[in-house]
Structure 1
């Protein structure tokens, strides 16, 4: 099955991978700017998100995304859980990825007290069947103070869709795990973190900046977990400048 995706623009390929609280719509503020800047942008819904239902058998997200591009080069941008998939993509096929941007990327990491409290509260709400409250918990947790009503509404819709496609009362879907080493990445790499995000993701960015050769970490004092949604006026020029830099 080909996962749901859309392609906009003409030029060098860019792949955008959404977080696990959203779907490919999270990149709506970036698509016109990147296309106008001369890039061919593909954004896809991973299985269990947006327009891509869960399959009946185990799968691997990086394999799904790699199939969209044959053997051609592609710059990769990933957010949160999609950032982890972007890491895997860039580490398993380093020659194919000239540039890598990770916005508040996930990575195996000891949970902070704040993240444990979030997970426990979300589990309690889902166990009680209160999906509305679970959605609001995610909106409040992941969006920083720069986000307005429009951004909060967008995340609310996307998170609700995640719960619809991955019902909390059903077993967690099985995925194929493939080991990879971030140190194998050869792409120019930019890591972005937010001061208003959970501390785990700032620590992850620091850690990855130390093991991915030549990686650069930019910490944003205004940002939460979704800086591309919160301040596209800042993030879009940053992405374009990095992608254009040879």
Structure 2
């Protein structure tokens, strides 16, 4: 069974991959703008998020997302953990992925900063104490920058709580199938965003990828936290459409 997803519009294919703080609803501010600009937009819920439950056997996120590809080339837009999946897809299927937009992307094996480790300790302590409301608020405070309004904060609050519902604290860690892949096989042109108010890990990753991928550009958003597409869609949407439309 395919993961939960929806498709809107007609035109070149764009596939949106959400952050692991959120689910596919994080792209609500982008879908109308992208479809109005002439794109066919697919967005999905990864396993354990939104409307996609965790299966009873191991799975690979990138393989499940690839089942949603159309017949032609696809541009991938990934936020944080969704960016990491986009990178895996671009590395494993370079003939199918035409472009990458990576917003504060994660990268496997990148060393965690003291700030990120401290966040994990705080979140674990709240979850172990059973204080899910406080754990949700911690995530809202850490991952959203100062430009985020109450609507964005409420959205992240709702989506993060859904993550805890589907992946209850203390439950066995879901088993995923790991597939080896190499950044060197990526050929897609790439636009990387990082946020000036985000944890330093994600700026470091963007800088590293900009120096590694063959056709990549890094833009640091001095106003942004970790989820710029939710914080200021009025600023992100034109950048996104401009890059994707430059075929």
Say yes or no: TM over 0.5: yes
Structure 2 unaligned regions, length at least 5 = none
Q: What is the total number of aligned residue pairs between the two structures? A: 246
Q: Specify the alignment match of 2:46 in structure 1.
A: 46
Q: How far apart, CA to CA, are the structure 2 residues paired with 1:165 and 1:80?
A: 19
Closer/same/farther in 2, CA of residues 9 and 71 from structure 1, 3 Å limit: closer
Q: How far apart, CA to CA, are the structure 2 residues paired with 1:226 and 1:183?
A: 27
How far apart are residue 210 of structure 1 and its match?
Answer: 1.2
Q: Specify the alignment match of 2:187 in structure 1.
A: 186
Tell me if the contact between 2:13 and 2:70 (Cα under 8 Å) persists in the aligned partners.
no
1:111-156 deviation line (CA, Å, top 9, x unaligned):
1111011000000000111000000000000000000111000000
Q: Specify the alignment match of 1:76 in structure 2.
A: 76
How far apart are residue 72 of structure 1 and its match?
Answer: 2.7
TM-score of the superposed pair, with normalisation by structure 1 = 0.99
Q: Following TM superposition, where does structure 1 have runs of at least 4 consecutive aligned residues deviating by more than 2 angstroms? A: none
Tell me if the contact between 1:184 and 1:212 (Cα under 8 Å) persists in the aligned partners.
no
State the superposition RMSD in angstroms. 0.7
Q: Specify the alignment match of 1:169 in structure 2.
A: 170
1:184-214 deviation line (CA, Å, top 9, x unaligned):
1111100100000000000010011111112
Q: Specify the alignment match of 2:96 in structure 1.
A: 96
How far apart are residue 62 of structure 1 and its match?
Answer: 0.6
Q: What is the DSSP-based 3-state SS (H/G/I as helix, E as strand, rest coil) of the residue aligned with 1:94? A: coil
Q: How far apart, CA to CA, are the structure 1 residues paired with 2:17 and 2:183?
A: 17
Structure 1 unaligned regions, length at least 5 = none
Tell me if the contact between 2:17 and 2:44 (Cα under 8 Å) persists in the aligned partners.
yes
Tell me if the contact between 1:15 and 1:76 (Cα under 8 Å) persists in the aligned partners.
yes
Tell me if the contact between 2:79 and 2:104 (Cα under 8 Å) persists in the aligned partners.
yes
Q: How far apart, CA to CA, are the structure 1 residues paired with 2:101 and 2:146?
A: 23
TM-score of the superposed pair, with normalisation by structure 2 = 0.98
Q: What is the DSSP-based 3-state SS (H/G/I as helix, E as strand, rest coil) of the residue aligned with 2:202? A: helix
